């Protein structure tokens, strides 16, 4: 169940952020703006080197931006005249490599940030946090005696212990194995939601962003390309990059006439009316295929099939154009079968139509 928060004042507001490490190489972060609502989990998604970690470090206060403004709860953290030091921001940070204090045991690591509490209350809060992440029994272990998953939970408990309003997570799952990753992800989401904390997750894994975040900002080469809920981004990508980065997509050069586009696989309806040559994106599961008996009819040929458990991916060719179709796992076709193709959902017109016809 996802909720929209638009009516509330944002917790974090980032406006026109720019960052440049080296003038010769240009800005690594360009005019990035977004808001994070109270209790919202936001993800910055993009390929490595797109500037997402730099944005996170600027919010945390570990890098000064060239220009732009960051505000938390209406309090300016950074703008042209202001610089609030990281320790004054009250923002938690979990690093990719966890960065546990190697000279302190688990308990001391978690207690580290509780200096604002009276001495007598610190152990209680520490125990509470250790209980929350299930590490009471390992309280006296040193960081090097812990597994990756355990270290991750210590890092998290340590960041959450002082109850920051916002936690920044820099690829926190990337050092975990796949099973542990899914488990930890769900656990962490539940923990954050129960604690009513907001979080920003930085990741290059779209599946991770989809299942973890309430809203996602997709970044490429320093730009924020699009912000939206996972569903919005998946079903209505604005650009070619977003369409392709968030899973398989079919791209068709088409002639648009109002709400209909003439594509090589037939007419595709469009959500928003437009005219002229456009690039239409359509998800593979939004195409339906049927066997055709009559070989004279317009048809596509099945050229590859991949059984994926809960669904099947077919690769088809029609008029020299190749594309994908997902069907449920009960609909079997053979390689070489002739099939008719019918779009079952409206297509999306991408903003920047390029000559690229690669349908990855």
Q: Which chain residues interact with another protein by CB under 8 A?
A: 60-62, 64-65, 78-83, 85-93, 95-103, 112-113, 115-116, 143-144, 146, 151, 155, 158-159, 162, 168
Choice between 150 and 220, CB closer to another protein: 150
Choice between 158 and 283, CB closer to another protein: 158
Q: Which residues pair with 70 in a beta bridge?
A: 14, 78
Write down the least CB distance from residue 9 to another protein, Å.
Answer: 24
Write down the least CB distance from residue 223 to another protein, Å.
Answer: 23
Residue 185: phi and psi, rounded to 5, are -60, -50
Write down the least CB distance from residue 204 to another protein, Å.
Answer: 16
Q: Which two tokens stand for residue 140?
A: 């006296």
Write down the least CB distance from residue 105 to another protein, Å.
Answer: 13
Write down the least CB distance from residue 139 to another protein, Å.
Answer: 18
State how far the alpha carbon of 238 is from the alpha carbons of 19, 29, 224, 232, 352, in Å: 25, 20, 12, 10, 8
State how far the alpha carbon of 128 is from the alpha carbons of 25, 45, 354, in Å: 47, 32, 54
Choice between 169 and 341, CB closer to another protein: 169
CA distance 340 to 54: 48
Write down the least CB distance from residue 249 to another protein, Å.
Answer: 34
Radius of gyration of the chain (CA): 24
Write down the least CB distance from residue 36 to another protein, Å.
Answer: 16
Burial annotation 327-353 (CB, 10 A radius, 16+ → b, else e): beeeeebeeebebbbebeebbbbbeeb
Choice between 93 and 333, CB closer to another protein: 93
CA distance 316 to 48: 32
Closest C-alpha to 173, from 97, 245, 102:
97
Choice between 150 and 239, CB closer to another protein: 150
Choice between 156 and 350, CB closer to another protein: 156
Choice between 10 and 113, CB closer to another protein: 113
Choice between 116 and 196, CB closer to another protein: 116
Write down the least CB distance from residue 93 to another protein, Å.
Answer: 4
CA distance 265 to 180: 42
Are 132 and 110 a contacting pair, CB within 8 Å? no
Are 65 and 29 a contacting pair, CB within 8 Å? yes
């Amino acid at each position: 169940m996802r909720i929209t928060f638009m009516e509330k004042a944002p917790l974090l507001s980032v406006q026109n952020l720019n960052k440049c490490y080296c003038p010769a190489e240009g800005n690594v972060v360009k005019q990035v703006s977004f808001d994070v609502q109270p209790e919202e989990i936001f993800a910055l998604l993009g390929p490595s080197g797109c500037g997402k970690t730099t944005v996170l470090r600027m919010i945390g206060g570990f890098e000064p931006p060239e220009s732009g403004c960051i505000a938390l709860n209406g309090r300016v953290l950074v703008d042209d005249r202001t610089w609030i030091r990281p320790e004054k921001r009250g923002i938690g940070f979990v690093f990719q490599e966890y960065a546990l204090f190697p000279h302190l045991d688990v308990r001391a690591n978690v207690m580290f940030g509780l200096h604002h509490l009276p001495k007598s209350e610190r152990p209680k809060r520490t125990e509470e946090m250790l209980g929350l992440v299930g590490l009471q029994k390992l309280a006296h272990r040193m960081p090097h005696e812990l597994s990756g998953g355990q270290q991750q939970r210590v890092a998290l408990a340590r960041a959450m212990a002082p109850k920051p309003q916002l936690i920044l997570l820099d690829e926190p799952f990337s050092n975990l194995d796949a099973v542990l990753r899914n488990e930890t992800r769900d656990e962490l989401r539940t923990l954050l939601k129960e604690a009513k904390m907001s979080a920003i997750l930085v990741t290059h894994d779209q599946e991770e962003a989809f299942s973890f975040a309430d809203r996602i900002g997709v970044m490429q080469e320093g730009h924020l390309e699009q912000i939206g809920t996972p569903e919005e981004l998946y079903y209505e990508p604005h650009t070619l990059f977003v369409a392709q980065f968030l899973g398989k997509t079919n791209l068709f050069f088409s002639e648009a006439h109002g709400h209909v586009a003439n594509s090589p696989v037939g007419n595709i309806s469009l959500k928003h009316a437009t005219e002229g040559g456009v690039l239409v994106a359509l998800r593979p599961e939004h195409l339906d295929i049927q066997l055709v008996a009559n070989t004279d009819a317009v048809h596509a040929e099945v050229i590859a099939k991949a059984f994926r458990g809960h669904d099947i991916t077919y690769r088809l060719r029609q008029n020299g154009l190749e594309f994908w179709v997902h069907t449920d796992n009960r609909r079997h076709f053979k390689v070489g079968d002739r099939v008719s193709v019918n779009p079952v959902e409206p297509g999306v017109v991408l903003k920047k139509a390029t000559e690229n016809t690669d349908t990855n």
